[in-house]
Amino acid sequence: MTVAAAPGPRWLGDAGQVALAVALALVLLPVGWTSVVDGEVSTAWEIALLVALVALHGAVATARRWPLPSYAVGALAELVLVAAPDLGGPTAEAAGSAYGPVLLPSSLCFFVLLYAVSARDRRPWPGIVLGIGLVGCLLTVVRLSGFDGTGLSGWTWWLMVATATVAATVAAWALGRFRATRAAWIDQLADRAAAEERQRIAREMHDVVAHSLAVVVSHAEAGRMVVGQQPERASGILDTIATTGREALMEMRGLLGVLGGESSTEPQPGLADIDDLVERMRAAGLTIRLEADEPGQVAPAVGLTAYRVVQEALTNVTRHAGPGAVATVSVTRTARQLTIEVSDDGVGIQRPPGRGLRGMRERVAAVGGTLDAGPSGEGWRVRAMMPL
């Protein structure tokens, strides 16, 4: 699983990580530094322990950008703290017994490093670092088994140390995995939304371009045949081609404006515009019978869907029904349902559903309706039923 980057500039997240490291160093490091310096250990171990403490805090500062190397540095530093001899001096007297350096407050930095790998690295590293952390818990319990400054009996002290270290390790790891899972889920939602938007735009592009080109091609073919014999019809044919082209350009500009982040000011077609659509298709040479109830008021999404269904169905009649086919457009509404039916008596073409039919089904399903399309007794029929 790839973990998404945190939102915002990368430098801002890095600055926040450095600020966290500085805060932890200011709070935790002075106690640990003093305890080591006054801990009555050999010079070599004193140097090793001080380097380990500084390395732990330094690893926190780089954990966001390089989580796995930072974790490796922190794990080695923790190993030094586990292997070092007990510390004496004033802090040991205050604690009531000499104690292992792994009890120094800076050891808490290890959980920050574990979280970073769990949240930001790919599999299998989160599982591997959890295993390393649990092994470290076992070593810590064994190392601290001789500490008697708390006054607790042996098994009680062992149980407390084991519970605290394992619980903190698992909690840090689980929080990191939660963040990684949440980021991946958000990415999937964004990808799904982008895919749905691409499908919506593809449907719109198909509806606009396919319908407009069908009208233009139909008029161009008719003009080629009749202009020589009836030149007075040339003006009307060219006007229809120009009008159809302008309307297609207007709708294309609206779609491109949405793609560019602009809000379109052009009104979307609706149920009341079906009459004009039918007239344009009639002017293109298609014979159409229109049977429509009073449009009334419907939701804009339902109206646009009804318009696009009629537009695509009539375009398919023009393409596939054959010459002389008659189309019937029926618009029926009740108190709760709008039914759109487009049928023809043409020969039709039996073929797998194309983009247009899939687009109609997706549009109708998006407003809670259903669409059926297939051969009827005389030709082809498309019926869409949408709730109001």
- Render pLDDT for 332-368 as a digit per residue (tens, 0 to 9): 988 889 999 999 887 655 555 566 788 788 888 888 8
Q: Residue 191 carries which side chain, given as an amino acid letter? A: D
Mean pLDDT score, 128-150: 83
DSSP codes, 189-235: HHHHHHHHHHHHHHHHHHHHHHHHHHHHHHHHHHHHHHTTT-GGGHH
Q: Residue 5 — very low, low, confident or very high, per pLDDT cuts 50/70/90?
A: very low
Contact 382, 313 (CB under 8 A): yes
DSSP state of 38: T
Angle at 308 between CA 380 and CA 240, to 5 degrees: 90
Say how far residue 285 (Cα) sits from the centre of its chain.
46
In the chain, count of helices (H) and strands (E)? 11, 5
How much is the pLDDT for 286?
84
Taking only the tens place, the pLDDT of each residue in 44-91 is 999 999 999 999 999 999 998 899 999 999 999 999 999 999 888 888
Closest by CA position to 388, among listed 331, 335, 350, 344: 335
Distance CA 205, CA 158 (A): 70
CA dihedral for 111, 116, 118, 124, sign (positive or negative) = negative
Percent of the chain with pLDDT over 90: 29
Placement of tokens 């339902």 in the chain: 302
DSSP state of 106: G
Distance CA 109, CA 73 (A): 11
pLDDT above 60: residue 101: yes
Contact 145, 158 (CB under 8 A): yes
Taking only the tens place, the pLDDT of each residue in 239-275 is 777 777 776 676 666 666 655 555 555 567 888 889 8
Contact 286, 318 (CB under 8 A): yes
Phi/psi-derived region of residue 8, left when phi > 0, alpha when psi is between -120 and 50, beta in every other case: left
Residue 55, both tokens: 């390395």
Taking only the tens place, the pLDDT of each residue in 142-188 is 888 766 656 566 677 778 888 888 999 999 999 999 988 888 888 88
Distance CA 50, CA 55 (A): 8
pLDDT above 70: residue 313: yes
| Three-state SS at 89 | coil
pTM tops 0.85, yes or no = no
Beta bridge pairs of residue 340: 331, 384
Mean pLDDT score, 193-217: 68
DSSP state of 371: E
Contact 81, 49 (CB under 8 A): yes
How much is the pLDDT for 338?
92
Distance CA 53, CA 129 (A): 20
For residue 348, give Cα distances in angstroms to 64, 207, 215, 345, 381. Answer: 63, 20, 19, 8, 10
Strands (E) in the chain, as ranges, are 287-292, 326-333, 337-344, 370-375, 380-387
The dihedrals phi and psi of 249, each to the nearest 5 degrees, come to -65, -40
Residue 5, both tokens: 């980057």
Say how far residue 284 (Cα) sits from the centre of its chain.
44
Contact 138, 158 (CB under 8 A): no
Residue 31, both tokens: 């106690």
